[in-house]
Amino acid sequence: MHGIPRTDEDLAHTYRDFALREAAGRSPAYERLCLGVAADAEVLGLVGALPLAKRQPNLLLGAVRLLGGPVGDYAAFRDWVVAHWAAVREQLLARSTQTNEAARCATLLPVLAALPQPLALIEVGASAGLCLYPDRYRYRYGDRAPLGPAGAPLLECSVDGSVPVPDRLPQVVWRTGIDLNPLDVTDPDDVRWLQSLIWPEHTERRERLTAAAAIAAAEPPLLVRGDLNESLARLAEQAPAEATLVVFHTAVLAYLDAAGVDRFAAQMGELAGRRPGTVWLSNEAPGVVPQVAARLPGEAPPGRFVLAVDGRPVAFTMPHGQGVAWL
């Protein structure tokens, strides 16, 4: 699922699927390269010898770009990968896919702005924490007037259905995150890795990352290193009592197995029992959170995430925050 191979046998399938379902129409370069890998026994052999979690297309392609390898033509790419395999392998083993997309805040904002303020935010799977600054970006929903400080990165979001387009920014008094490997926006090496994870053609996203990283670097968030299921309860205890506690995640739970997702959903129920008013905001691909999938009114449009509040689906969203369709 989402480019993460689940078994030893399906590596060629994973790369072909990624090319046709994820890269097609969004990144001609990655579509071409992944179709090439899917049909290349030698490269599949190298990648297939890595631990399962290290075989993802996004990870391989990001590592090659970090090291300055060619990502245009497949023949040049594969020759370079084979020749530089030791260096590529070292990066693959050391890093993981942690794409941090600030624009996802545009799909969270309609919910965040409507909650009792102020907010205390915990993002699980925060990467570098760029989604912890929904109050610092500028937003334009459809053709509405922009909302947010002039000069801040502008997040453009198409709207469909009766989206409760916010007319105010949320007031965030506490922002924290949990990640297995928190990235540090003040560390140029971490920011370079985040840049390498953005697909080659997506220049605008790279510019947004630079601008959002500067905002976060001016007031870095508190990021806890650890598994979200292990660290959540203790962190939640530290949230200021007068604020609405929001625990949120976007593009994270696909990395957990089914038991991990169930455990997280159960924890959110327990947390809401201990601290009434706590909000669970989930933005994940359909099917990733069974508790949400079971309440979907119909099939999600292809390539969309589901935004859910306390397990109840409220919108389909575009994965990088470019659009929201209210249910």
Q: State the residues that interact with ligand SAM by CB under 6 A.
A: 96-101, 104, 124-127, 131, 178-181, 227-228, 250-252, 255-256
- Collapsed DSSP state (helix, strand, coil) of residue 78: helix
Contacts of 131 (CB under 8 A, 6+ apart): 100, 101, 102, 104, 105, 108, 123, 248, 250
The nearest distance, CB 137 to ligand SAM, in angstroms, is: 13
Nearest in space to 258 (alpha carbons), one of 238, 231, 232, 288: 288
Distance CA 60, CA 95 (A): 10
Which residue minimizes CB distance to ligand SAM? 125
The nearest distance, CB 226 to ligand SAM, in angstroms, is: 7
Nearest in space to 252 (alpha carbons), one of 279, 281, 216, 224: 281
Hey, which residues does 177 pair with through a beta bridge? Answer: 123, 223
Q: Which is nearer to ligand SAM, 148 or 221 (CB)?
A: 221
Q: Which is nearer to ligand SAM, 131 or 163 (CB)?
A: 131
**If you ran DSSP here, which 8-state letter would residue 18 be given?**
I
The nearest distance, CB 312 to ligand SAM, in angstroms, is: 21
Contacts of 277 (CB under 8 A, 6+ apart): 116, 244, 245
Q: Which is nearer to ligand SAM, 46 or 59 (CB)?
A: 59
Q: Which is nearer to ligand SAM, 127 or 291 (CB)?
A: 127
Q: Which is nearer to ligand SAM, 252 or 309 (CB)?
A: 252
The nearest distance, CB 311 to ligand SAM, in angstroms, is: 19
Torsion, Cα of 56, 61, 67, 73 (10° steps): 150
The nearest distance, CB 126 to ligand SAM, in angstroms, is: 6
